[in-house]
Structure 1
Amino acid sequence: MREPTLHNTIWRWHFYAGLFCIPMVIWLALTGSIYLWRPQIEAWLDTPYDHLATSGPVATPEAQVAAALRAVPGATLHKYVLPQAPDSAVRVLVTAQGTDKRVYVDPRTLAVLKVATEEKRPFRMIFHLHGELLAGAIGSYIVEIAACWAVVMLVSGLYLWWPRGGAGAAGVLYPRLRRGSRIFWRDLHATTGIWVSVFALALILTGLPWAKGWGTYLGEIRTLTGTARGPVDWTIGGKTPAPDPANIMADMPGMAAGTGMHDARGPAAPVTAGDDPHEEHRDMAMPHVTLRPGELSRVIATARTLNLAPPILVMVPGAAGAPWSVSSDAADRPLRADAKIDGGTGRILSRTDFAERHWIDRAIGYGVAGHEGALFGIANQLLGTVTAIFLIMLAMSGAVMWWRRRPIGLLGAPVRLSRPAIGAGLIAIIVALGLYMPVFGATLILVLLTEKLLLRHLPKTRQWLGLAPI
């Protein structure tokens, strides 16, 4: 394939991919950069509940849970979050009519300070806006398609940028400011792209495990290869995939409605519970069991000795006599660990640290932590924010270049020089991308079939899109 023809072909695909991706790149960069600062913003929002002025003896965890359940009639216990400071409110997660609610309880007075629907908390909303456009699985697929084609945009952009003919640093590493507006916008787009491409590709690839298509694809591959070890601890398409049905105890005999628990402060409300540390975003019926008095206190006392990274979640068992689950929900996922504790004795039955997980889960854990800005502290947050800003600059400069150069009445795609003879190397790259990102492969086939079967009958549309006449 001659170089001019190859360059022209890649430029055309870069143009089409970029034009499609520009709105989504800006949207994902904006929502993602906000999410990067979740720890600081959530700490600020929760300030009134983390510096309580009350004094006196701390109530038992059972009493705290009972207060939370009274605040949400008909609710069942979901999770107990260990307070991170003596003057912090206790967070108790309860489920009522299939909806998770977070109840803030003063650990001394048992006053309910706030009840918040979990999925309506600010950063849960941003999470869904970022990953699925508040449109569930359909939105997740749209985001994934844009992400896959953004990879094509970035890789093809790197090819187009690659210096040729002894080009100097000007226009390659930094923009030329005195060559007119056309050269300025071209240089701004090209130089921004080279500085941001590696980090942008890392963000896209580490974000794929959340996508509905890619996450499900990975799950199927792991099932076929026997490398799956229990449920994953990241959401896929907005929901955590269900574990092996053999591990779900929803219909086991002997499960009954909870009975009252008692402590020194008097009778408490009924407590019922469900067991699965990763069911938080799952639409499934929760099992209900009777909790024995004092179990929660024993489990919490043992959990405090595990030295887990906060926040620490205590999940009640799914069947009477089954072990309790305790897990770290640290944003820096390599710090996470899980443990099983016997509620009757407080004995630690097992512990699984991050290093003991399957290497695929560890790799994704590192990637997810880096994607969320939690892997190496504030430097990670700053790097992610700068990457998002550069992506917005890249998208906006590309849009300006297109708008200024487009012919009136046409989309403005680069004119095709000739029909290229696709080489083996390019085919191998396309096949590799299609196998790694099946949604890209599927949409590429759809685009080619649309051009071949539909657009051939629409000459005016072909002309507007910049496609060669048949």
Structure 2
Amino acid sequence: MGSRYRMIWRWHFYAGLFCLPFIVWLATTGMIYLFKPQVQPWLERDYAHVAHGAPQAPFVQIAAALAAVPGGVLNAYELPVTPDQATRVLIGKGPRVIRVFVDPSTATVLHVVDENDRFMQIVFYLHGELMAGTPGSMLVELAASWTIVMLLTGLYLWWPRGGRLRGVLIPRLASGSRIFWRDIHAVTGVWISVMALTLLLSGLPWAKSWGGMLKEGRQLYAQTTITQDWTIGSAAERKTNRAANTPVMDEHAHMAGMGASSSTAMVDPDAYSPVNVLAPKVAALGWPAPVLISPPSALNPHWSARSDTQNRPRRIEARLDPLTGAVVSQVRFADRPFLDRLIGYGVAMHEGQLFAPLNQILGVITALGLLTMSVSSVVLWWRRRPVGVLGAPPARRDTRAGGVLVALIVLLAVFLPLFGVTLLLVLLLERFVVRRWERGRHFLGLSGT
């Protein structure tokens, strides 16, 4: 076994040791979130449907929802998909968005829930930031970065030498327990590696550090202020919500009866009467559900509508004339910059909605594969771990990384900054602390042979 191979194996081992708990967590929560379109409606079944009857005007339903949330303003009115569907009205209050279910025929409020208290939104925050805000987002990003390195080093270690298929693409299930667990780990890894890397890379734009740098980089070269179609952590989402919940007047404000000042938090309910005109016009466009109609705000100073479907390549948004309901201008997915479209495809894939339900099935297979690899890696480690040491492949004093490998590491460190920073910290600790700590070197497998 070559010294370079052993060195890469050692880093694969260390990366796995750190990433393993996060892989289990992200695979489990991600697998649950894949089925948001099926699970969330089932959880809300008791108040999501009503007896079919002649609906009240949208403005009347909005007024009922506003009465249920004192001090709130209209964030968005969601168009019903079927005649027996309860109307969803999103009410904004500071950085919060509150969902109100209203019976359209009686304008009776059926249920009130904060968006952040809905089950799938909780799963979303558990998955993306461990319910710990910005620190959690950065920790998840760090784990994702090292998992990418772990998968790439694993592919190098697995790469077939000699042209055989058994143990490479086909597990050897009857060659003893050691070979069995090794093949379960390696063969599963190669089959799911492409999808796993796709999921990891497509999740980075949401992360606080990586996504923030991407946004700054895009803005640096853009001619105008960029409004991206995804948020970077809960802090950015709260900022966006606050802007969307701050009412302003548009050019039709006086004619439409909008007497509110842009600096006031409260709005005369009559300001929302244009929804009666806009709702049927937007419904006739046949956009993918859910379709939301929003009043002017600090986020968007005009009446607007948007398709908020999880399959982002099908999303559309438009500016509306509140007097006639006409579409003044619209932006389709194809009109967005190339980078935004690339990320949009990745996000839709990440959420399992790009080509559902096959996309969901593929996501579940990938998550189960990651869990299988996690279990098999623990078994392999436990079986081969010598007593009293960590069990990492021992270092060799004659190891040389080589120019190509160093270049690849530098490229990864630039592309994944949190990986680069922590790698540098680890190397500094190894050089100036661990090397002087004989017992620590022996335990970590760094004594050298």
Compare 44-53 and 32-41 and name the one that shifted more: 44-53
User: Does 1:69 find its partner at 2:55?
Assistant: no
Shift of 1:97: 5.2
Q: In structure 2, what is the equivalent of residue 28 of structure 1?
A: 26
Q: Distance in 1 between matches of 2:237 and 2:223?
A: 16
- Residue 95 of structure 2 contacts residue 245 of structure 2 at CA under 8 Å; is this kept in 1? no
Shift of 1:235: 1.9
Q: In structure 1, what is the equivalent of residue 84 of structure 2?
A: 87
Q: Distance in 1 between matches of 2:244 and 2:118?
A: 28
- Residue 306 of structure 2 contacts residue 315 of structure 2 at CA under 8 Å; is this kept in 1? yes
Q: In structure 2, what is the equivalent of residue 357 of structure 1?
A: 336
User: Does 1:431 find its partner at 2:410?
Assistant: yes
Amino acid across the alignment from 1:29: A
Amino acid across the alignment from 2:50: L
Q: Mark the CA change 1:272 to 1:157 in structure 2 (over 3 Å): closer, same or farther.
A: farther
Equivalence map 1:59-138=2 (5 Å) = 59-96=56-93, 98-138=95-135
Shift of 1:95: 2.3
Q: 2:199 aligns with which of 200, 203, 206?
A: 203
- Residue 90 of structure 1 contacts residue 104 of structure 1 at CA under 8 Å; is this kept in 2? yes
Equivalence map 1:100-249=2 (5 Å) = 100-164=97-161, 166-226=162-222, 230-240=226-236
TM-score (norm: length of structure 2): 0.91
Compare 417-426 and 221-230 and name the one that shifted more: 221-230
User: Does 1:326 find its partner at 2:305?
Assistant: yes
Q: Distance in 1 between matches of 2:59 and 2:202?
A: 40
Identity of aligned residues (%): 46
TM-score (norm: length of structure 1): 0.87
Q: Distance in 1 between matches of 2:426 and 2:267?
A: 53
Q: 1:17 aligns with which of 6, 12, 15?
A: 15
Shift of 1:174: 1.9
- Residue 80 of structure 1 contacts residue 315 of structure 1 at CA under 8 Å; is this kept in 2? yes
- Residue 128 of structure 1 contacts residue 134 of structure 1 at CA under 8 Å; is this kept in 2? yes
- Residue 76 of structure 1 contacts residue 272 of structure 1 at CA under 8 Å; is this kept in 2? no
How big is each residue's C-alpha offset from its partner over 1:118-177, in whole Å with a ceiling of 9 and x where there is no partner? 10100000000000000001011111111010011101001111111x252221112222
Q: Mark the CA change 1:322 to 1:342 in structure 2 (over 3 Å): closer, same or farther.
A: farther
Shift of 1:88: 0.5
Equivalence map 1:312-461=2 (5 Å) = 312-318=291-297, 322-461=301-440
Q: In structure 2, what is the equivalent of residue 278 of structure 1?
A: none
Shift of 1:345: 3.0
Q: Mark the CA change 1:249 to 1:54 in structure 2 (over 3 Å): closer, same or farther.
A: closer
Shift of 1:426: 0.7
Q: Mark the CA change 1:408 to 1:322 in structure 2 (over 3 Å): closer, same or farther.
A: closer
How big is each residue's C-alpha offset from its partner over 1:162-221, in whole Å with a ceiling of 9 and x where there is no partner? 111x25222111222222211111111111111111111111011111111110010121
Q: In structure 2, what is the equivalent of residue 280 of structure 1?
A: none
- Residue 22 of structure 2 contacts residue 143 of structure 2 at CA under 8 Å; is this kept in 1? yes
Equivalence map 1:295-306=2 (5 Å) = 295-306=274-285
Q: Mark the CA change 1:293 to 1:418 in structure 2 (over 3 Å): closer, same or farther.
A: closer
Q: In structure 2, what is the equivalent of residue 265 of structure 1?
A: none
Cα root mean square deviation, aligned: 2.9
Q: Mark the CA change 1:92 to 1:194 in structure 2 (over 3 Å): closer, same or farther.
A: same
Shift of 1:457: 3.5
How big is each residue's C-alpha offset from its partner over 1:52-105, in whole Å with a ceiling of 9 and x where there is no partner? 1152x3111111011011112222211111111111111011123543210000
Compare 356-365 and 68-77 and name the one that shifted more: 68-77
Question: Runs of 4+ in structure 1 displaced over 4 angstroms?
Answer: 241-244, 247-252, 270-274, 285-291
Secondary structure of 2:357 counterpart: helix
Q: Distance in 2 between matches of 1:157 and 1:4?
A: 16
Unaligned ranges ≥5, structure 2: none
Amino acid across the alignment from 1:42: Q
Number of aligned residue pairs = 442
Q: Distance in 2 between matches of 1:286 and 1:15?
A: 57
- Residue 5 of structure 1 contacts residue 420 of structure 1 at CA under 8 Å; is this kept in 2? yes
Q: Mark the CA change 1:249 to 1:39 in structure 2 (over 3 Å): closer, same or farther.
A: closer
Compare 373-382 and 216-225 and name the one that shifted more: 216-225
Q: Distance in 2 between matches of 1:466 and 1:460?
A: 10
User: Does 1:6 find its partner at 2:4?
Assistant: yes
Unaligned ranges ≥5, structure 1: 263-269, 275-284
Secondary structure of 1:102 counterpart: strand
Q: Distance in 2 between matches of 1:293 and 1:136?
A: 34
Q: In structure 2, what is the equivalent of residue 51 of structure 1?
A: 49
Q: Distance in 1 between matches of 2:367 and 2:55?
A: 45
- Residue 409 of structure 1 contacts residue 464 of structure 1 at CA under 8 Å; is this kept in 2? yes
Q: Distance in 1 between matches of 2:301 and 2:417?
A: 41
